[in-house]
Amino acid sequence: MTPRPVQGRSGTPQPSAGRRRAQPLSHLRPYVQAGSLILFIVLVALAWTLGDRRSWANLFFRLDPLAGAMGMLAGRRFLPALLLSLLTIGLTWMVGRAWCAWICPLGTLLDWTPARQQPSAAFGPESPWRRAKYILLIAVAGSAIAGSLTLMLLDPIVLMTQTVGRVFLPLLEQVFSLLERAGFAISWTRPLVSPAVNLLRGTIFPLERHFYGGAVLTGLLFAGILALNALVPRFWCRHLCPLGALLGLLSRAAWVRRRVDASCIDCGHCARLCPTGTIDAGRVYASDPAECTTCLICQAECPVSAVSFTWGSIRPAPAQSYDPTRRQALVTLGVSLIGMGLFRSSPNTDLRDPHRILPPGGRENDLASKCIRCGLCLKVCPTGGLQPAFPRTNGQDLWTPVLVPRMGYCDYSCHACGQICPTGAIPDIPLDIKRTVIIGKAYIDTSRCIPWSEGRDCIVCEEMCPVPDKAIKLQETQVMTAAGQPVMVKLPHVERERCIGCGICEYQCPVAGEAAIRVYSPVVERG
């Protein structure tokens, strides 16, 4: 993306060659943005491949001050890994909301999405709707104080991680899968496909396609956010983004401020170009530091070089008409606290769901208050068994991870979810200890199990059981068939105290549909 050309706009004065300065910084911005977006996607895509270094796959969450602040607020604990976001806070205090224009992967995509160039007056520099993002931020904070991080799904990094992990990469996998099948069908392309499979399958793409609950919802939410560009460029950043609001608050005291000097010829070019539309032609082209993303387009495009970004005072920026009033802020806070209280007072039958299997260590943690819903654990899970929860009675646990053994088991040789979790909601447990963590208990449905109900040997569950001395034992027993014939058959039994609930027995059970051996949550807590 290059800045929009000056030519072709009626009434725009042509820059005089002599006064035009080189603007290296502003021209770097598309490259920085693209680099940041690519890094973001690569980190999500390589989440599994990075192996024991995969804690760096959550780099963007470490840099995200909203994730850090809310994670600590709701979790009531200190998260040292998230202190890297002090860098972002420092950057914002120096140069304002530069994160939004230079680093944020969602902002970059919004920049690349076509947008309405002459928005209606309702979205002008003083649009009261700019208040909405502050209201959302207060709501996120209020529910975090009340102990829920569900609203963190509005954090742009969370949104992007979910979208890349659950929508973009699975779509890419489908394309790859098509090419793969076509490639293997034709003999001369086979030598080309094999190296690609070696490189991509089992690394950035799973060996077998993974399916994610809520993928359509995530995709629609993301598409909706992009589609809001049809109202006004970067609608999301101006009006909704809670991270943008937080950075905006910090930017009010930013050192570097945008200035317009007296040589301004009142052409209005900068006001038309500003991606967040904060340059107010009615106020001598002044802007609100809380809205300005320091993209430097106005400086680069000013025909008379009247715009500059210079070190200024640390005096806070003047208040704006769209800033939330104290009353609005308090009402929002109150409403979010009461709302969370109402959620709490309604019965959460999902917690009593016997099939609610949580990743190792997740049961000991309260996921609602510690999980920021980023979905990295779902992406990294090599079996695709971790799925976003979609609660039926209570929003508190929305999109926290649950293990659905019929879709994928908890691999005995893997503790990737704990390694990648940015907030430690899934604790990083060493592999040898993780192998002993009980996440559920398997029970055999003897009315459907092949040996029990049909008198035929099967044993897949016993074969698959990864526990060294096998939590599933086969007892050779004489049973009567329905026809009255006595037969010897190996009947599987679960040795309950050995079972860790990994669910590979349920995953591999050859009985069609619902498995004949199923994992249930080990104990019923709360509720």
Q: Identify which of residues 122 and 185 has a Cβ nearer to other proteins in the complex.
A: 185
447 touching other proteins, by CB under 8 A: no
Long-range contacts of 46-53 (CB under 8 A, 24+ apart): 46/203, 46/204, 47/165, 47/376, 47/379, 47/380, 47/416, 47/420, 48/203, 48/204, 48/379, 48/380, 48/382, 48/416, 49/203, 49/204, 52/419
Residue pair 416/54 in contact (Cβ under 8 Å)? The answer is yes
Nearer CB in complex with other proteins: 289/359: 359
Q: Does 474 bind other proteins (CB under 8 A)?
A: yes
For the record, the structure tokens of 67 come out as: 């994730």
d(CA 186, CA 237): 48
Q: How far apart (Å, rounded) are the C-alpha atoms in residues 147 and 294?
A: 34
The binding track of 299-338 with respect to other proteins, each residue x by CB under 8 A or -, is ----------------------------------------
Stretch that binds other proteins, among 115-123, 141-149, 174-182, 332-340 (CB under 8 A): 174-182
Out of 3, 23, 328, 411, the only residue in the binding site for other proteins (CB under 8 A) is: 411
Residues in the chain: 527
Number of Cβ within 10 Å of residue 93's Cβ equals: 17
User: Contacting other proteins (CB under 8 A), which of 116, 283, 311, 463?
Assistant: 463
Tell me: does residue 188 bind other proteins (CB under 8 A).
yes
* Among positions 46, 50, 201, 304, the unique one binding other proteins when judged by CB under 8 A: 201
Establish if 515 lies at the interface with other proteins (CB under 8 A). no
By CB under 8 A, is residue 514 in contact with other proteins?
Answer: no
> What is the DSSP secondary structure assignment for residue 14, as one 8-state letter?
P
Give helix 156-163 / helix 215-227 axis angle, nearest 10°. 130
Of the candidate residues 9, 344, 490, 498, the single one contacting other proteins (CB under 8 A): 490
* CB of residue 221 to other proteins, shortest distance in Å: 29
Q: How far is the CB of 203 from other proteins (least distance, A)?
A: 7
Per the DSSP assignment, residues forming a β-bridge with 507 are: none
Tell me which of 459, 479, 498, 520 binds other proteins, using CB under 8 A: 459
Stretch that binds other proteins, among 152-160, 250-258, 337-345, 451-459 (CB under 8 A): 451-459
According to the binding rule CB under 8 A, does residue 207 interact with other proteins?
yes
Report, in Å, the least distance between residue 190 CB and other proteins. Answer: 8
Alpha helices in 46-126 (DSSP H): 59-62, 65-75, 85-95, 98, 105-112
Q: Does 414 bind other proteins (CB under 8 A)?
A: yes
Burial (Cβ within 10 Å: 0-12, 13-18, ≥19) of residue 21? exposed
Q: Give 186 or 319: the residue with its C-beta nearer to other proteins.
A: 186
* Contact window for other proteins (CB under 8 A) among 193-201, 219-227, 241-249, 354-362: 193-201
Q: Considering the complex, what minimum distance in angstroms separates the CB of residue 409 from other proteins?
A: 7
Name the minimum Å distance from CB 356 to other proteins.
Answer: 23
Q: Report the alpha-carbon angle 190-47-111, nearest 5.
A: 95
Residue among 18 and 51 whose Cβ is closer to other proteins: 51
**CA distances (Å), 91 to each of 59, 104, 253, in order?**
16, 13, 12
User: Shortest Cβ distance from residue 244 to other proteins (Å)?
Assistant: 28
Q: Say how many Å lie between the first and final Cα of the chain, rounded.
A: 52
Helix (H) or strand (E) holding 298: helix 297-301
Residue 412 touches other proteins, criterion: CB under 8 A: yes
Minimum CB–partner distance for residue 261 and other proteins (Å)? 33
- For the segment 91-130, give every residue that binds other proteins (CB under 8 A): none
Shortest Å distance, C-beta 436 to other proteins: 12
- The DSSP line for 435-482 is TT----EEEE-TTT-HHHHH-----HHHHH--STT-SEEEEEEEEE-T
Tokens of 422: 């940015």
Q: What is the dihedral of CA 400, 75, 238, 85, to 10 degrees?
A: -110
- The Cα–Cα gap between 56 and 44 comes to 10
Taking the C-alpha atoms of residue 474 and residue 49, their distance in angstroms, rounded to an integer, is: 37
Per-residue contact flags (x/-) with other proteins for residues 3 to 42, judged by CB under 8 A: ----------------------------------------
**For residues 267 and 292, is the Cβ–Cβ distance under 8 A?**
no
Q: Which of 280, 445, 457, 495 is close enough to bind other proteins by CB under 8 A? A: 457
Number of residues that bind other proteins (CB under 8 A): 48
Does the protein bind other proteins through residue 420 (CB under 8 A)?
A: no
Chain contacts with other proteins (rule: CB under 8 A): 48, 177, 180-190, 193-194, 197-198, 201-203, 207-208, 382, 409, 411-414, 450, 456-460, 462-470, 474, 490, 504, 508, 510
